Amino acid sequence: MHVTRFDAAPEYVAANHFDMRCVRLQGKEGGPSVSLTMACSIIEPGGYIPLSPSPLEKLYLVVEGEVTLSNGEDAYVLQRLDSLCVAPGESREVRNASNKQAMIVLVMPVRP
């Protein structure tokens, strides 16, 4: 087993993530997981990831606040403990349109 304390989780910079603080909870620099990574992002009001595709499946869980996720056609406003799955190759936009900080957890496979 491997424990990562939130206060000790390593911060990382993700491309095209604006007004967000990202920390790795498990996998890569966050721990020894070889197939999955788990990260947490704190999104400031107005913070966002622009619409873009990813080759990897992504699971999002809102832990705090309100976050809008969109595939460019449909938009979903997620609140505390709501989750969303983005299929491999599907475009996604993540946005905090509220006036309060939001926190999301992201789980995805490690890139091959």
Q: Does residue 92 sit within a domain?
A: no
Domain ranges, residue 34: 11-42+99-112
Tokens 């992002």 -> residue: 41
Tell me how far CA of residue 46 lies from CA of 29, 53, 56, 82, in angstroms: 28, 21, 25, 20
Domain-embedded: residue 31: yes
Residue 93 included in any domain? no
Total tally of structural domains belonging to the chain: 1
Q: Flag whether 77 is in a domain.
A: no
Q: Is residue 89 part of a domain?
A: no
Asked if residue 65 has pLDDT above 80, the reply is yes
Q: Flag whether 76 is in a domain.
A: no
Query: pTM here?
Result: 0.94
Structure tokens that stand for 44 in this block:
């400031």
Residue 103 falls inside a structural domain: yes
pLDDT tens-digit series, residues 1-47: 999 999 999 999 999 999 999 999 999 999 999 999 999 999 999 99
pLDDT of residue 104: 98
Helix or strand (DSSP H, E) at 75 = strand 75-79
Q: How far is it, in rounded angstroms, from Cα 45 to Cα 107?
A: 22
